């Protein structure tokens, strides 16, 4: 059995409009020593037929088809388990790689193969047109630390572009996506990587992130609102679990940012008491920070809202 240098796994579910372009962006890399593992989570559209057609044309493709829908976490874990290469990369079936993506990242790993390499990305619409926005701008992470020890920056909030990641298979050991999570499992995964390894960021868009109606982050409507609420709740859980596990490593300033971000999530969930508690905890963690002015403003706003709500309640009683 010939073992490829890089295993690429692709998550697939009902992306018949986009998956051909995603597959071709991997197969057309200017680096050929790879395998493409496509894990389809029981798609109900023509995704399976498209995957099977490409698999017949290129022996580097290995397809795994779930008999029933098991969710994104199981899809990723099956992809990791199936990987045979020295390095692992990942891509969603609606995203696209630039032709030189792997070659540029592998050049970085020649000096230190224990690095977690990732890159900037560009946003595209359903038709593949550039939207004039980078992934960092979308994630609000232009000023975040992105190379070296990024644990302190990453524990505050997620900002890694998953479709750009490349890492050594041996280094993840038994680490897999947490099956208790539905949406923030990728955040927990990279956060645990950041607790052990240095990252290297390439400030060049080597992949493209597609925004469309079925995209979790871009979708709208009642069902999407439920998903967003679940994502906010999971984001809080991931941060708080990491804070418990790595408490002694986390700086007080970072803790303050964590609690403040939790406050934002709680407010979006409509849990104002928890939000107020989080902002007060942020102030307590770093009493001398100028950021406390902003946190105090949130506290006053929440207190005013609570007083107004109590007044309306009493007037209706």
pLDDT of residue 23: 98
User: Mind listing the pLDDT tens digit for each residue in 60-102?
Assistant: 999 999 999 999 999 999 999 999 999 999 999 999 999 999 9
Task: At 255, list the tokens.
Answer: 């803790």
pLDDT of residue 279: 84
Cα angle for residues 26, 115, 122 (degrees, 5° grid) = 45
Residue pair 87/166 in contact by the 8 Å Cβ criterion: yes
Work out the end-to-end distance of the chain between its first and last CA atoms, rounded to an integer number of angstroms.
76
Q: Give me the mean pLDDT over the 202-217 stretch.
A: 85
Q: Give me the mean pLDDT over the 124-138 stretch.
A: 96
Task: Kindly tell me the burial class for residue 97, based on how many C-beta atoms sit within 10 Å of its own C-beta (0-12, 13-18, 19 or more).
Answer: buried
Q: What is the mean pLDDT of the chain?
A: 90
User: Mind listing the pLDDT tens digit for each residue in 239-285?
Assistant: 999 999 999 999 999 998 999 999 999 989 989 888 888 888 888 88
DSSP code at position 143: T
- Helix or strand run (H / E) with residue 226: helix 222-245
DSSP code at position 148: B
For residue 292, what pLDDT band results from cuts at 50, 70 and 90? Answer: low
Q: Give me the mean pLDDT over the 209-220 stretch.
A: 70
pLDDT of residue 169: 97
List, in order of start, the domains of the chain with CATH numbers.
6-210 (3.90.550.10), 222-316 (1.25.40)
**272-285 and 291-316 are packed helices; what angle lies between their axes, rounded to 10 degrees?**
150
pLDDT of residue 294: 64
> Helix or strand or coil: residue 62?
strand
| 24 vs 227, more confident | 24
Position 54 pLDDT exceeds 70 = yes
User: Mind listing the pLDDT tens digit for each residue in 144-153?
Assistant: 999 999 999 9
């Amino acid at each position: 059995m010939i073992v490829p240098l890089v295993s690429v796994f692709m998550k697939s579910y009902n992306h018949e409009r986009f998956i051909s372009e995603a597959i071709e962006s991997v197969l057309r890399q200017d680096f050929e020593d790879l395998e493409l593992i496509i894990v389809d989570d029981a798609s109900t559209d023509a995704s399976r037929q498209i995957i099977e057609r490409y698999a017949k044309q290129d022996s580097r493709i290995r397809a795994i088809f779930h008999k029933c829908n098991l969710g994104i976490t199981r899809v990723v874990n099956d992809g990791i388990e199936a990987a045979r290469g020295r390095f692992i990369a990942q891509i969603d079936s609606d995203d696209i790689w630039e032709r030189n993506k792997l070659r540029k990242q592998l050049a970085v790993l020649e000096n230190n193969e224990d690095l977690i390499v990732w890159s900037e990305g560009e946003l595209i619409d359903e038709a593949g047109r550039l939207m004039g926005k980078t992934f960092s701008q979308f994630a609000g992470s232009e000023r975040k630390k992105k190379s070296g020890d990024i644990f302190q920056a990453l524990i505050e909030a997620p900002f890694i572009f998953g479709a750009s990641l490349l890492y050594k298979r041996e280094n993840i050991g038994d680490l897999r996506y947490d099956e208790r999570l539905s949406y923030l499992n990728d955040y927990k995964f990279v956060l645990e990587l950041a607790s052990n390894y240095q990252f290297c960021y390439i400030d060049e868009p080597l992949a493209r992130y597609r925004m469309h109606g079925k995209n979790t982050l871009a979708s709208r409507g009642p069902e999407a609102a439920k998903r967003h609420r679940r994502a906010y709740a999971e984001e809080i859980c991931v941060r708080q679990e990491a804070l418990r596990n790595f408490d002694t490593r986390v700086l007080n300033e970072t803790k303050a940012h964590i609690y403040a971000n939790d406050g934002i999530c709680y407010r979006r969930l409509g849990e104002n008491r928890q939000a107020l508690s989080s902002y007060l905890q942020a102030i307590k963690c770093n009493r001398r920070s100028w950021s406390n002015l902003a946190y105090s403003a949130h506290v006053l706003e929440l207190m005013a809202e609570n007083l107004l709500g109590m007044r309306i309640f009493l007037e209706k009683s």
